[in-house]
Amino acid sequence: MSTEPRRFSVFLVPAAGDRRWADGVIHELADRYDTLPFEPHVTVYGGAFSNDAELEPVRRALADAAAGTGQITLQVAGLGVTEEYFRSLFVAFGEDPALRRLHEAVKGAVAQDSGYLLVPHLSLLYADLPLAAKETAARTVTLDRREIRFDEVKIVVPDPVTGWSDARRWQTLFRLRLGAPAEKVTTVIFDYGGVLAEEGFREGLFELARRQGLDPVAVHGAGMEAVYASGYVLGTGSQSAFWQSLRERTGLRGSDRELSNLILDRFVLRPRMMEAVRALRAQGYRTVILSDQTDWLEWLDRRDGFFREFDRIFNSYRLGKGKRDPSVFDDVARELGIAPGEALFVDDMLANVVRAESRGMRGILFEDEPRFERDLKRYTEV
């Protein structure tokens, strides 16, 4: 089934003092002309993506670029107006090499170049107004600075229905500070299924569906819904409640024990990943598991004995909270007694990595072991 492409933009966000000035102007103009305010920004690039995986190279490119870039200072060329809605009234900037490098880094990372042209400007008003009215608005703006500093870069997506026109519904997927000294990673936090071990839940449900003549993708989707709806993954429901819910959703047959065993058999530890865990501990890093799992995780440890390789285990079944709630990353950092920037989080689901990064952690999207090992070297000495 094809996926309708979604839009995204990479924004450069002003530093605190300049942001306060731009915010004030944007809100004053929005009130005066009865239109919506928005976050002040310079658009570095705009394009489209079909799935989360297509944004991963963009995240990597921004992270690499940010590592070698301090705050970006753009020279103000003046105010401008056009008949375009999204360039109604704006601060225009001169060409800047650091901004151009950032643009080219993103352009080189996208699956297909959109042809976006970098014309650096910071909009102050979005409005459907006659050009003369926009010129009048421009004369009311006091542009009292020769340069504007920027210290953050982010990936933003619009609402899929209303698009960019409703700034209240813009969503930030990824953000990075420019020029901020990076905290040293002291702790590596691993997901279990799909990272440390084969993804037994998915593979087990696929196999159950195939054996019973059902749609594997539909059964897996129903399983993800049922494990939350039943409360099993958050410790408020039981294994029996989960399987009963899934039977009702899909028509699966079999006893709880038979169905569970088929899934558990497919959680197989990855020796190469466990060697990486041991190498990290040997170098003095703390290793941690953070998993959206049930009491199956404890059964798997009794079978495979892997908890001893980790300093702490955080299981949603015991926490009463999973990675769908970004505050779980705050909780884990607090429990470990570390700043979020000291933690490197590894997961095979981009949405979870994005949530961890939104709380200040560093992140690696796990795709395969060789790529993980390359990414790990960016953050650690292993």
pLDDT digits over 135-186, tens only?
A: 999 999 999 999 999 999 999 999 988 899 899 999 998 888 886 666 799 9
Q: Tens-digit pLDDT profile for the chain (382 aa)?
A: 446 789 999 999 999 889 999 999 999 999 999 999 999 999 999 999 988 888 889 988 888 887 767 889 999 999 999 999 999 999 999 999 899 999 999 999 998 999 999 999 999 999 999 999 999 999 999 999 999 999 999 999 999 888 998 999 999 988 888 866 667 999 999 999 999 999 999 999 999 999 999 999 999 999 999 999 999 999 999 999 999 999 999 999 999 999 999 999 999 999 999 999 999 999 999 999 999 999 999 999 999 999 999 999 999 999 999 999 999 999 999 999 999 989 999 999 988 988 888 788 888 889 999 999 988 988 898 8
State the Cα–Cα distance between residues 368 and 380, nearest whole angstrom. Answer: 18
- Whether 37 maps to a domain, the answer reads yes
Across the chain, the runs of DSSP E, i.e. the strands, are: 6-14, 42-49, 72-81, 89-93, 121-125, 147-157, 171-177, 187-190, 286-291, 312-315, 343-347, 362-365
Look-up of token digits 């024990």: 257
CB 85 within 8 A of CB 34: no
Q: How many CB atoms lie within 10 A of CB 368?
A: 8
pTM above 0.75, yes or no: no
| Non-local CB neighbours of 132 within 8 Å, separated by 6+ positions | none
CA 264 to chain centre: 29
> What are the distances in angstroms from CA 39 to CA 30, 176, 312, 325, 328?
12, 16, 39, 24, 27
- Strands 312-315, 343-347: parallel, antiparallel or unpaired by DSSP? unpaired
Q: Mark whether 21 and 166 lie in a shared domain.
A: yes
The CATH code of the domain that includes 307 is: 3.40.50.1000
- Whether 182 maps to a domain, the answer reads no
Q: Mark whether 282 and 260 lie in a shared domain.
A: no
Q: Mark whether 113 and 247 lie in a shared domain.
A: no
Q: Mark whether 259 and 347 lie in a shared domain.
A: no
